Amino acid sequence: MILFTQVFLIVSLFFCFLMGGAALAEEWNVGFRSIQVSDAAIHHEIEVAVWYPTQTKAKEESIGPATLHVARGAELPASSQSLILISHGFSGNFLGHNDTAQFLASLGYVVATPTHPDLQGLKSGKPEFDPLVARPRHIQLIIDELLNHPSFKTNLHQKRIGIIGFSLGTYTALTTIGAKPELSGLATYCTINTKDVLLCSPQANQRFSAIAPNLISQRDNRIGGAVLLAPAYGPLFSKSSLANVKIPVQLFSAEKDQELNNRYNAQHFEEFLPNTTSIEVIKDAGHFVFMAPCPDGLKRAVPFICEDTESVNRVAVHKKLNRDIAKFFDEVLK
């Protein structure tokens, strides 16, 4: 399973900040704004990037250390738009899936990509700060903020909302569309998978005991479709706890995922989630194939995040992946 380590935090942040945008469709230019969403439960401001269609000419802009081709602060078109949220993996940030965000925005979607304060939440030791508790709350707060934000409220359709989750972000997505985490199956799982530090170590047992009362389904009925990329935390969900997911879900997994055992994750969700298509498996790919393609400098610095097998072209994978995601939301968010 995914390791919550300081090394991964540093690498993932470095990775996300340096990524550039992918080639976009030609329908719209891509606008960009950054907003802050307040989480009163933990006294924290969540940074949220918003990518959206615009007729304003785009240019190269510095977004953190990255340089992206966007129209910063541009106006939205007057027509009503669908909203997509993208929840990143553990300790990532709002740039982690920027190519997907830009592609969807170029097709007319408004896309929100938050930075979840994962590491701060774990270090706090407080249940309400824990990522498994706080992340679903963040999604609802972000939707509320955007639907009432002066720059977006007149342009967003209240009931055409989708969500994309990667890795830990799939847990975020599932708990916002009706799935309720359960801990009852962990004992059996951990008997077989004793080396799973994330779910089965003494520290994990202490963590789950502390946050168990706070692990609830936070269904947001405004969300009408979900895409799960490298779905994680399968052992926390049973057939019965997934039965309340009533909306369409599309699954993608990496055939050679080095962070997750697909048997207990992607295949588990395929078997028990209602309203899903079969898993689309990226052949020969590893876990991080779903993050945006790396520039050459980052490939040299952190190859285990950036390098794929010789038979996998991440740019080509994302070209198809982004189109498949757009097609899914075009169909379910009518």
High-pLDDT (> 90) share of the chain, %: 72
Residues 252 and 283: their CA atoms lie apart, in Å, by 11
- What pLDDT shows up at residue 306? 85
Mean pLDDT for the stretch of residues 272-286 = 92
Residue 221 has pLDDT above 50, yes or no: yes
pLDDT in tens, 36-68: 999 988 888 999 999 999 999 999 998 876 789
- What pLDDT shows up at residue 297? 66
- What pLDDT shows up at residue 9? 40
- pTM (2 decimals)? 0.91
- Looking at per-residue pLDDT, the higher value among 130 and 64 belongs to 130
Q: Coil, helix or strand for 186? A: helix
Domains of the chain: 6-332 (3.40.50.1820)
- What pLDDT shows up at residue 23? 39
Residue 11 has pLDDT above 60, yes or no: no
Most confident of 26-40, 271-285, 312-326: 312-326
Mean pLDDT for the stretch of residues 147-169 = 94
Residues 160 and 291: their CA atoms lie apart, in Å, by 25
The residues pairing with 282 across neighbouring beta strands, listed in sequence order, are 254
Residue 208 buriedness (CB in 10 A; 0-12 / 13-18 / 19+): middle
State the average pLDDT for the chain: 89
- What pLDDT shows up at residue 65? 66
- What pLDDT shows up at residue 13? 42
The residues pairing with 81 across neighbouring beta strands, listed in sequence order, are 156
Single-letter residue type at 283:
K
- What pLDDT shows up at residue 301? 74
Mean pLDDT for the stretch of residues 290-316 = 85
Contact (Cβ atoms closer than 8 angstroms) between residue 290 and residue 186: no
